Amino acid sequence: MVDLKHLMSLIKVILVGLFSLLYMIQPAMALSEDNKAINQLYTQFALAFNQLDAGIVENIYAEDACYVPENQSKGITMGRDNIIAVYKKFFGKIKNKEARIEVDFRVVERQMETNNATDVGYYLIRFHPAKDAEEPISEFAGKFVNVSRKNADGKWYLTVDTNNRSETPFYYNAKPSPELYYGRQFSPLTAEIHVEQH
């Protein structure tokens, strides 16, 4: 005959174990979802560049975001509306040249806090001139630090976007990290591509 007291103790131990497991799994699941949401920002950037659509970029930045460009002659751009204006101007120049542009990213480090994340990594931009321009495809790379914030609506937005130039091998040689965005759209350099080094 089963000892009822022993059975109740066993059930209690099992329940405590299950609750402990759920308690440990919950933050890990939330972290995984946050990583996916932050990674999606880079997917959106790539799409915006591919389509030359500043409207897509608008959904990436927080209202109070700031953009720190790599160009030494340009100051810090404050506020989402002003950042979008920069993208509209840039994409407009590409359209006027009847060219197209691609970008991708490789995040090598992400530091997470409750509602904030800081990403460090490399980017690569590839410029395709107009077909009748008879110019080679060119590319350049850079390093970036991005800070994102999870707003009250549960969505992640970019609050700080800063970058500077680097040599292209840094992008190509960056190793993937678990759960971090790692662009794969660009294959290594070929002879017909002109690499811009500044």
User: What pLDDT, in 10s, does the model give residues 29-65?
Assistant: 556 899 999 999 999 999 999 999 999 999 999 999 9
**CATH classification for the domain delimited by 4-195, as one of 3.40.50.10540, 3.40.50.1370, 3.10.450.50, 3.30.750.24:** 3.10.450.50
Mean pLDDT of the chain: 86
Q: Tokens for 88? A: 């509209």
Say what percent of the chain tops pLDDT 70. Answer: 80
Q: Are 174 and 183 in contact (CB under 8 A)?
A: no
pLDDT at res. 13: 62
Between residues 160 and 14, the one the model is more confident about: 160
3-state class (DSSP) for residue 140: strand
Domain spans of the chain, in order of start? 4-195
Q: Confidence band (pLDDT; 50, 70, 90) for 191?
A: very low
Question: Taking the C-alpha atoms of 186, 68, 107 and 194 in order, what is their torsion angle to the nearest 10 degrees?
Answer: 20
What is the C-alpha radius of gyration for the chain, rounded to an integer number of angstroms? 23
Q: Tokens for 57? A: 């970029």
Phi then psi dihedrals of residue 129, to 5 deg? -65, 170
∠ Cα 22 24 27 (to 5°): 100
C-alpha distances in Å from residue 45, one per residue of 135, 157, 162, 191? 25, 12, 14, 27
User: What pLDDT, in 10s, does the model give residues 132-142?
Assistant: 888 898 999 99
Phi then psi dihedrals of residue 183, to 5 deg? -65, 140
pLDDT at res. 198: 45
Neighbours of 82 (CB within 10 A): 14
**How many angstroms separate the CA atoms of 112 and 117, rounded?**
4
Q: Confidence band (pLDDT; 50, 70, 90) for 114?
A: confident
User: What pLDDT, in 10s, does the model give residues 11-29?
Assistant: 676 656 555 554 554 444 5
Q: Are 149 and 159 in contact (CB under 8 A)?
A: yes
* DSSP one-letter code for 196: P
Closest C-alpha to 166, from 182, 145, 190: 145
Residue 79 has pLDDT above 90, yes or no: yes
Residue tagged 């099992």 (tokens): 14
